[in-house]
Amino acid sequence: MIPNQWYAVLDSAEIKPGKPYAFRRLNDEIVVWRDAHQRVVIMRDVCPHRQCQLSPGKIVDGNIQCHFHGFQYDREGDCQLIPANGRNGAKPRAFKAHVYPTREAYGLIWMWYGEPRQESDYPPIPFFEELADFDYGTIRREWNVHYSRSIENQLDISHLPFVHAKTIGRGGRTLVNGPYTVVEPGKSISVWVDNQLDSGLPATKPSAMPSKDTPPNLKFLFPNVWHNRIAPKISVFAAFAPVDEENTVIYVRFYHKVTNFAPLKWLISKIGNFSDGLILAEDQGIVETQRPKKSELNVGDRFIPADRPIVMYLLERQRLIEGTHADELNEADFALDLASR
């Protein structure tokens, strides 16, 4: 994982008031619940007393109660009750549950992966603000791959006419111009897509493509959210929630802002979700065959110029993990040149 990042890990609708929920995210078993004020809490799913799971317990007075001996922990992880010691008895500091910094925003639950900070020192939640007032519907899919592979797939420009020949890849536009790609170090990757029919002419190099005065077709925000701008009022969004080294949960949303009529909003969301589900299934059948399940620059893949967004993602991901600050564009060109020899 990239350290010191806010990861989108759950959809808000998955966490109902009044009960705890068990999940595996970011290579850890977690329990997620809402306190008396409906604020989301993410804890490691372990009771500090005898190290059993907390998730089979229940919510009592806004605290999570362990089902083994009744210990209660508040949203900060502090023990508020040890029944065997009496309601006014000792609650030693040793009985403190591990709590992850958590945010709830844009209908998603975000989990901090890294060292805890002072409240004012956390970075903003990475999201596409232009979608904040759109309507949307959500689907959830589980893929048997590391989240890096699922992200790569959404930055892959050249697979469309083959994997999606019956859906979004219809038309046989196999020639990939560019793609024109911009990296904002540590923050984002923007991609302008320009595919066309192969008439025998060579693909246009990124440097020769016309300047881009329109928003990018694809934009990825580190560490794990992606946006496909289909039209000014229609977009597809995805959050790639890491489960462990071999599994990912993908939350895909069809965003739209085309009507104020509630029944029609619902219908548009359903149609969009159905379409997105078909496309995801086409991707899943291929991506789950890739080896290894986790992607890095030096795992045996060979790249072509059309893979530029993927290479830049892998380079920037590696830099963020290692804390280095190289020139991402030059290194991307170098990696692509090596692959072509």
Mean pLDDT over each residue of the chain, to the nearest integer: 94
- Asked if pLDDT for residue 327 goes beyond 70, the answer is no
SS3 (DSSP) at 211:
coil
**What local confidence, expressed as pLDDT, does residue 340 receive?**
47
> Distance between CA atoms of 24 and 28, rounded to whole angstroms?
6
User: What mean pLDDT comes out for the span 1-13?
Assistant: 97
The pLDDT tens digits of the residues spanning 276-315 come to: 999 999 999 999 999 999 999 999 999 999 999 999 999 9
- Asked if pLDDT for residue 212 goes beyond 80, the answer is no
Output DSSP code: residue 207: G
**What local confidence, expressed as pLDDT, does residue 335 receive?**
54
Domain ranges of the chain: 5-121, 129-340
Considering the domain 129-340 in this protein, what is its CATH number?
3.90.380.10
The pLDDT tens digits of the residues spanning 91-117 come to: 999 999 999 999 999 999 999 999 999
Give this prediction's pTM: 0.94
Which tokens hold the place of 98? Answer: 């591990």
Lowest mean pLDDT across 51-55, 243-247, 336-340: 336-340
| Residue entry with tokens 């958590």 | 102
CATH class of 5-121: mainly beta
Q: Are 103 and 81 in contact (CB under 8 A)?
A: no
- pLDDT interval class at 333 (50, 70, 90): low
The pLDDT tens digits of the residues spanning 189-209 come to: 999 999 999 999 999 999 888
**What local confidence, expressed as pLDDT, does residue 207 receive?**
83
Which tokens hold the place of 133? Answer: 């007032």
- Asked if pLDDT for residue 329 goes beyond 90, the answer is no
How many other CB atoms sit within 10 Å of the CB of residue 70?
14
